């Protein structure tokens, strides 16, 4: 029964997306598949998927029970990386549109875009550190200093607010003093490609080292390539949308094959044949296929769900804040030797994490807005 309820909960989330999407008549197309309302609603859907993914990881990798049995979350435990690519795509796309509309957009860019994310990172790190200390974790002096300085992630999910500023800095360096958009795009792809290769090299070189202390882990770089793709999409949007409409059905099939095939091959090379670089390449291809599929979905419908729109305005805060409850409600609690609390029912566990994570995300948004100013809540 628990498995059925867990599967039903995931099905309900998909149902919210489908029922909240206005299906266009045969032959009709959404002229604005990348409108702010559309992208925010899809980002809200993906943020909820990420919450379930992190809960699924905790349940799937539960080592406290020798044979926990099926949970209904087995697939979600492995596909979280797919959900992140769309955020990078939208960030790249949004930067191009902002540059196109504002000639002096780069003036104050670092202060407006990069600094708020860094401040949010340190604020998040502090919140998590206080919470972990309050729950009974202990740290030696050196590690405590590393946590306070942000050299170690007190919240492992906060990698995103480090990677995104890196992409912003790459954009700033590529765009500053250059009016040739084709050259800017090439620089972005080269820079993002170098970032991915560097990430793979560091991960392989430091295999076995604590991945949170040295910022290791495939999630740091296996979707970042979607950022220059988003910039390219903004630059060639009319042609890209016309191309997708022209061969829509074939592209739906291709996106599914790329997403599913890339995912299965990444599993094979990540487990059966432990070749990390090859597995990462297939994860990247799978993320591209998934994001491509979302774009095709957007062409055929208008997402107007109020619930998804609400979470679309809370994506960053929810992403940063829900992880505390992922660990609090399912032992062990981070690095604490013993657990604090475990909710054995996966659907109840997910709903509680979502409810508490949403409440803390709203509070965190209000606090950062007051302490850091309006720039801290700019939507990515």
Six token digits for residue 135: 């729950």
Alpha carbons 326 and 367: distance in angstroms, whole number: 22
Position 212 scores a pLDDT of 57
Q: State the Cα angle at 199 between 194 and 202, rounded to 5°.
A: 120
24 contacts 299 by C-beta, under 8 angstroms: no
Judge whether 244 and 309 are in contact, CB under 8 Å. no
Helices (H), the chain: 2-19, 36-60, 80-101, 109, 115-134, 141-149, 160-175, 181-205, 226-235, 237-246, 248-267, 276-299, 306-312, 315-321, 323-328, 346-372
C-alpha distances (whole Å) from 231 to each of 100, 225, 315 are 11, 11, 21
The Cα–Cα gap between 105 and 168 comes to: 13
Cis amide leading into 332 (omega within 30):
yes
CB-based burial, 119-153: b 16+ in 10 Å, e otherwise: bbbebbbebbbebbeeeebebeeeeeebbeebebb
SS3 344: coil
**How many CB atoms neighbour CB 298 within 10 A?**
22
Contact of 24 with 30, CB cutoff 8 Å: yes
* Residue 30 CA: distances (Å) to CA of 50, 234, 279, 371: 26, 16, 35, 40
CB proximity list for 335: less than 8 A, separation 6 or greater: 137
Which residues in the chain land under pLDDT 70?
Answer: 62-69, 208-215, 337-339, 373-380
The string of DSSP letters for 205-234 reads HTTTS-TTTTT-SGGGTSSTTHHHHHHHHH
Q: 352: which residues sit within 8 A by CB, 6+ positions away?
A: 325, 329, 343
Rg (CA), the chain: 21
Kind of pairing between the strands at 301-303 and 21-23:
antiparallel
- Cα–Cα distance, 357 to 367 (Å, whole number): 15
Using a pLDDT cut of 70, give the percent of the chain over it.
Answer: 92
- At 171 the pLDDT is 97
User: What is the token pair recorded at 3?
Assistant: 């498995």
pLDDT of 380 = 41
For the chain, give every domain's residue range: 1-78+305-380
pLDDT in tens, 16-46: 999 999 988 888 899 899 999 999 999 999 9
d(CA 339, CA 359): 23
């Amino acid at each position: 029964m628990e498995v059925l309820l867990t599967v039903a909960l995931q099905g309900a989330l998909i149902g919210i997306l489908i029922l909240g999407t206005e299906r266009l008549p045969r032959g009709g197309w959404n002229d604005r598949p990348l409108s702010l309302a559309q992208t925010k609603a899809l980002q809200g859907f993906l943020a909820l998927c990420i919450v379930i993914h992190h809960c699924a990881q905790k349940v799937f990798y539960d080592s406290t029970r020798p044979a926990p049995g099926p949970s209904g979350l087995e697939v979600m435990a492995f596909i979280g990386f797919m959900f992140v690519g769309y955020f990078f795509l939208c960030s790249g796309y949004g930067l191009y549109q902002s540059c196109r509309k504002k000639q002096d957009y780069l003036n104050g860019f670092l202060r407006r875009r990069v600094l708020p994310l860094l401040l949010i990172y340190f604020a998040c790190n502090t919140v998590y550190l206080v919470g972990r200390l309050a729950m009974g974790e202990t740290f030696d002096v050196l590690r405590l200093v590393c946590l306070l300085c942000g050299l170690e992630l007190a919240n492992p999910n906060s990698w995103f607010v480090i990677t995104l500023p890196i992409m912003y800095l790459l954009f700033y360096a590529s765009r500053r003093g250059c009016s040739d958009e084709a050259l800017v795009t090439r620089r972005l792809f080269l820079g993002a490609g170098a970032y991915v290769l560097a990430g793979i090299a560091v991960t392989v070189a430091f295999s076995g080292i604590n991945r949170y202390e040295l910022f290791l882990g495939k999630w740091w770089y296996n979707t970042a390539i979607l950022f220059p793709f988003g910039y390219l999409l903004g630059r060639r949007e009319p042609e890209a949308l016309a191309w997708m409409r022209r061969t829509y059905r074939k592209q739906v099939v291709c996106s599914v094959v790329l997403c599913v095939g890339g995912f299965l091959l990444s599993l094979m090379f990540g487990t059966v044949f432990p070749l990390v670089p090859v597995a990462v390449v297939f994860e990247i291809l799978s993320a591209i296929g998934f994001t491509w599929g979302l774009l095709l979905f957007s062409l055929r419908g208008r997402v107007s769900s109020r619930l998804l729109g609400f979470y679309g305005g809370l994506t960053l805060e929810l992403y940063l804040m829900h992880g505390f409850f992922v660990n609090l409600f399912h032992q062990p609690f981070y690095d604490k030797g013993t657990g604090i609390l475990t909710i054995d029912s996966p659907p109840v566990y997910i709903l509680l994490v979502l409810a508490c994570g949403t409440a803390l995300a709203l509070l965190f948004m209000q606090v950062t807005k007051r302490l850091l100013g309006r720039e801290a809540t700019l939507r990515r």
